[in-house]
Structure 1
Amino acid sequence: MRIPSRIIGGAVIATLLTQLTACGTLFYPDRRGQIDGKVDPVIVALDAIGILFYVIPGLLALGVDFATGAIYYPDGTTAQVSPEKLRPAVEADGKVNRVKLQAILESELGQRLPLNDPRLIEHRGSVEQLAAYGLHPVI
């Protein structure tokens, strides 16, 4: 009778240890280190299931996910291209050639961006920004 109790005890210990490591930390280790953001409802639901079955380990799992930041969705990715590489896309009159800009961004970022999409929102720069890049505003 001693062997079945050891098996059951080992299973309980393994279950408790998996709950202590937290779902977000296990499933998305790349998310660790985030400070804030949108909370991932799947991770919250998995931690809530842990709370349902084992109150203390479930609460610890939820706390670990919040403390490590693994409970948050990842931030949006950003990319930067130096102004010197973007300069060929700007024509002499200060207007941007979208075809050249799309080719430059595709070669630098490795992604094809839909610059001719009608939903694209264009922001105009200030005179100071243009002067910083050696450009003159179109009047």
Structure 2
Amino acid sequence: MPMGSRIIGGVLAIALFTQLSACGTLFFPDRRGQIEGRIDPLVAGLNAVGILFYVIPGLIAFGIDFATGAIYLPEGETYSVAPETLQPAIGADGRIDTAKLRLIIEQQTGRDLPLDDPRLIQHSGDLEQLASYGLRPAA
């Protein structure tokens, strides 16, 4: 067998293996057994990448995830917070109260974020960014 064929075969085998393993069943084994719910965008996106590059492995990944229920988010778990609910964390001077923000995020998502971590990088937004979320500056 020529060397070029071995390299192409090896690359193809690795690519197919990575796409078959890119499904929620392997990433989230604790979700197996669910019947319905909201579809996890992360798992659906990974499976869609499989369809985009390799049709058959992507379809297999989707089939496995739907059959096992691993594509569904756990009951009551969300990953987003509506911008309107963050309004109480913004003070009259326009500064953000991290304690209030942490409490709101924990109530909405059920996850405790370390907002007092020194590695946290804070960016300041501009008026256009606030307007895109339907917020207006208080200061």
Query: Greater CA radius of gyration, 1 or 2?
Result: 1
